[in-house]
Structure 1
Amino acid sequence: MARTNSFGRGDAAVGGFCGYCATGRPYGRDRDPDFLIMAFASKNQVRGGRLVALITLIDGMSACWFGYCQGVFAGVLVSQDFLDLFPEINNGSISGAVTSSFFLGAFVGAVLAFILGDRLGRKKTIIAGHVLNTIGAALQASAYSLPHLVIGRTLNGIGIGVTSTMSPVYLGECVKPHLRGRLLVIGASSNVASFALANWINYALAFRGGALQWRLPLAIQLIFPFIIFPIAPFVPESPRWQLLVGRDDEAKRVISLLNNESVAADSVMTDYNSIKASISLERSHRVPLMDVLRNRDKTQNLRRLLLSCGTQFMQQFTGINSLGFYLPTLLHESVGFDLQTSKLLAAVNGTIYFIAAFFSLAVVDRLGRRKLMLYGSLAMTACHLISSLSLKTAQEDPAKMKTFGNVTVAFFVIYHAVFAPTWAGIPWVYAAEVNSLGWRSRGAAAATATNWVTGFAVVQFTKVGIDNLQWAFFLIFAILCLLFFPVVYCFYPETAGRKLEDMDEMFLRNPSWFVFGKKEMTQPTRPQAFVDAEMARISDSEVTIVEVTPDKTEK
């Protein structure tokens, strides 16, 4: 029986290809009314670079919303009208719980993305997440009770959990490998840009009293859906997801739109056959779920899932959200700056963070993911170590507080400048790349869930940790950052320069979990062995098509 596509037909005619209807009779341009619909859509739909730009814009705006949510609440927490309305926030445990409810919601959102990503598709899942974001943002801005605020913050978190999982996967599945790293990093950099914007908005409103000081920053989130929702109708579903669910003709059309070529073009058919062959290879090695969890499948999906989760775990335990949410509070209470100066320093820090993030555009594909993570872990170790020791001196000797307080601030800024081009974006890029097609949305969801649950833990204990450990609290992050270096060096293969379809080949050829000393697993450029393997897959796929077509014709 012929496959059924979304137009209710068998393998339909698209761009000049003829297929067979459910009765077995051939039909083409003169027999298929759906051809006119598809031809009209292709003619009027955005194509090529403009289409890639729109998909990148959706990912970038999703990341902006994510970053804004992370940055805006730090200023809200120290607004006097907010503290008067919610006096419970003065309790460190309650403050941590309210702040981290966003992370808990985002963890739930990542789990939802795990469930919905392969069922609804990438695009619809992203839209659903942004609907939840909109509701959550509106509830936070209008809150007059603590439960009202927490519900809004949690819903906002669920939406961000969904979109932060699926947006990088969607973009990664739609773009060419030589652009993938840079375009995904644009999303991560957009996150940082909106984080900086949130800090400047907080500072600008620090000179005003009343509810506007904190309600307006929360309400500004509602600008994002007015950018995202109008774009959504003009972008297609991921072609890799369409092939995964058997919508072959739609996948060909989307590949042709992304390549700005006709459906019959060689480049389109090469990409189509490569993805199709990779799916067939993946399915030929499919094993029951329990065998996957025992790491008994040849494509090593469990190992790849753990690698992507590991990057997100390490990212959170570099201490980024401890500073992101509590930097104004820390500068005010521990370093001794007044409230307005604390907000100004946080805004300046956010701007430097934003500028440094775009440096990764120049190096993410050239140096690769591994080197950026390795260099970043060592540099962040030094920053945390110096910050904690200078903070110790400032707190122990009031006469030296100003001098060593300035040193502390300087190394907090340097820390953000190091984190931005290294650990800020790489975990999101890595999770979108390393997993197999069948496990990509699941792997990205598991990685994002790891990010949020560890972020929840870090934010939850940060205020209590600073109150009790003071300067020694940041020594914990210094030790952890140092430990991340051998973990990455020993276990993390390079994903830069590879096609997404190369990932299965990489793990099939290298079953050992240790990657150091193996050039094929660590070089930032695509190994020739993977190019040869792709050509072999495509060749085998074309032979299969030739052998199957006569049987279909006889039917």
Structure 2
Amino acid sequence: MVATSRYNLSIVLFVALSSLTYGYAFSVFSTSIGQPGFYKYFNLSTTGPRASYTNSILGAINALFSAGAAFGALSIAWLPDWLGRKWTIIIAGTISLIGGALTTGSVNIPMIVVVRFLQGIGVGQCITITPIYLSEVAPPHRRGLLAGQNAVGLVTGYFLSSWVGYGTYFATNETFAWRFPISLSCLFPLILLVGSPWIPESPRWLLWKDRVDEAWAITERLHHDPSDSTQLLAREEFFQMRSQIEYDRTQDLSMWYMFKKPSLRRRILLGCGVLLGGQACGPLVINNYGVILYQGLGMSGSLPLLMYAIYVVVGASVNIIAAFIMDKVGRRPLFFIGFLGTTVVMTCETALVATYAGSDNKGGNAAAVFFLFLFVAVYGLCVDNTAFVYCAEIFPTMYRAKGMALGLFVYYTGSIAFLTPAATAMQNIGWKFYLVFLCCSFVAFVLAYFFVPETARLSLEEISGLFGDNVIVNLTTATEEEKKKIDEVIGEKSVTLVSHREHAED
């Protein structure tokens, strides 16, 4: 196994600020709509004849943000392949910073709607490029842990926004109470931009561009093993990457070809399926309208914000655990448990909301809150983190950006369908809205059972074999004799790479 170096870990954690940028910017609005000052400033009302107008405005703001994120995600189909993974991160951070600053300074409804769209473009790029980059710099046996920091960063953003929102609820200046949390969405992309000169480029992208020496220098530093002076395992991995990319570059790299070739088309369906399936369980609606949900269960004042903050703590905690167990447990078991678990939990939640929402039954409402917490525990532990990692790792290097872009585009397009009518649906049909998520969870479980192959502990190049593609160098299944031949080839064909045997002879 290639060791996980401190340098590799530090790079991963820093780049995860990009996903934190998305998580904070996405969820901060859910705390803003829990602040009385927000409604006063924009002349909105949650009761009376103007309540429907308010719900339509909230739906529009969330929908335009998701639309921006969808377009931002789609742009990743070309930017990382054209400019590189590193420069794409810089562009995404810049747009996120500008969008956050303009959202902070919004003075009317039309402005906040438009600039949330701009911010959505930036953070949509952030959340799409991050898993691509992390999966490409992580060693195979730690890819779940390291690429999983994408979702950890995401939920950390949720965590920070929820507690900042709860704290500012007690501010004497009501405008500050909702505007200050939004202003902090500028902090994380700013830190990312300041530190971006020290982010190394993805070695796989460099190999694609024939910058072999640069790619090896970065690979050696990322996967440096102090116990092996020859760095044989890193050299073997580099040889595998280089051989596969030299073969893959002969393929048609167009988006259209991805839909024509069966193995790539299957990847598209799987990548889009796991992301959309996870989203269709209801996490974005519960997160974005969590404060309103708690208010519907009889809570008032600062309590809905507090409950939302605690809810996010649970979600963040289990996402961290998911990153640690993903490589050991595997992707398939986590999907099975997650989708079946959310189906059961959402069934119980639907029954409780149908029976007790709007009533004075404290026990029934408390049980409904408990199942909301149980939902995020099951979803965060089994589905959330796993879906992002899975979508990023199933595509070959030459198609990874396009595949991830398509997956996140579908993800955000789906979120528009769920988030836009959510506020109105919760007001008009109540518990029946939960039936949508219940049914979607069950369908996702069935589809995952029959169609999702296991990818854990395989290198990105070896995963191609699961879809019937040619794997040029397979280190996982190679026998000792085959590995010796691979080491000999490394020594014979690469000036940059020197085999273990040649070092030993010296």
Q: TM-score, normalised by structure 1?
A: 0.81
- In 2, are the aligned partners of 1:67 and 1:194 still within 8 Å (CA)? yes
CA deviation after TM superposition for structure 1 residue 532, in Å? 9.1
Where does residue 159 of structure 2 map in the other structure? 196
Aligned mates of 2:269, 2:397 — CA distance in 1: 16
Aligned mates of 2:483, 2:63 — CA distance in 1: 45
Aligned mates of 1:281, 1:222 — CA distance in 2: 42
Distance 1:272 1:481, change over 3 A: same
Where does residue 109 of structure 2 map in the other structure? 146
SS in 1 for 2:107: coil
Counterpart of 1:266 (choices 228, 232, 247) is 232
Aligned mates of 1:530, 1:136 — CA distance in 2: 53
> What letter is aligned with 2:424?
V
Where does residue 134 of structure 1 map in the other structure? 97
Distance 1:147 1:370, change over 3 A: same
Counterpart of 1:341 (choices 292, 303, 308) is 303
CA deviation after TM superposition for structure 1 residue 460, in Å? 0.8
Distance 1:217 1:326, change over 3 A: same
Aligned mates of 2:479, 2:29 — CA distance in 1: 46
Where does residue 59 of structure 1 map in the other structure? 15
Counterpart of 1:276 (choices 207, 227, 242) is 242
Where does residue 371 of structure 1 map in the other structure? 333
Aligned mates of 2:24, 2:217 — CA distance in 1: 36
Aligned mates of 2:266, 2:18 — CA distance in 1: 28
> What letter is aligned with 1:293?
F
SS in 2 for 1:221: helix
Moved over 4 A (4+): 261-265, 284-291, 529-546
Aligned mates of 2:483, 2:427 — CA distance in 1: 56
Rg (Cα) greater in structure:
1
Aligned mates of 2:86, 2:481 — CA distance in 1: 33
Please list, as runs of the form range in 1=range in 2, the aligned pairs for 1:498-509 lying within 5 A after superposition. Answer: 498-508=458-468
Q: Say whether 1:86 aligns with 2:42.
A: yes
SS in 1 for 2:383: coil
Distance 1:538 1:475, change over 3 A: farther
CA deviation after TM superposition for structure 1 residue 527, in Å? 5.9
Q: TM-score, normalised by structure 2?
A: 0.88
CA deviation after TM superposition for structure 1 residue 284, in Å? 4.7
Aligned length: 480
Superposed CA RMSD in Å reads: 2.7
Distance 1:399 1:224, change over 3 A: closer
Please list, as runs of the form range in 1=range in 2, the aligned pairs for 1:12-411 lying within 5 A after superposition. Answer: 49-87=5-43, 90=51, 91=53, 92-208=55-171, 209-260=173-224, 265-284=231-250, 286=252, 290-296=256-262, 300-332=263-295, 334-395=296-357, 398-400=359-361, 402-411=362-371
CA deviation after TM superposition for structure 1 residue 324, in Å? 0.4
- In 1, are the aligned partners of 2:21 and 2:126 still within 8 Å (CA)? no
Post-superposition CA distance 1:234-269 (Å, at most 9, x none)? 221000000011111211111122133799853443
> What letter is aligned with 2:19?
A
- In 1, are the aligned partners of 2:25 and 2:100 still within 8 Å (CA)? no
> What letter is aligned with 2:235?
M
Aligned mates of 2:482, 2:188 — CA distance in 1: 43
Q: What stretches of structure 2 of length at least 5 have no aligned partner? A: 46-50, 496-506
- In 2, are the aligned partners of 1:316 and 1:458 still within 8 Å (CA)? no
The percent of aligned pairs where both chains have the same amino acid is 27
Q: What stretches of structure 1 of length at least 5 have no aligned partner? A: 1-46, 512-525, 547-555
- In 1, are the aligned partners of 2:21 and 2:189 still within 8 Å (CA)? no
Question: Relative CO higher for 1 or 2, CA cutoff 8 Å, sep ≥ 6?
Answer: 2
Distance 1:473 1:289, change over 3 A: closer
- In 1, are the aligned partners of 2:9 and 2:146 still within 8 Å (CA)? no
Post-superposition CA distance 1:98-145 (Å, at most 9, x none)? 122111111111111112010000010011000001101111111101
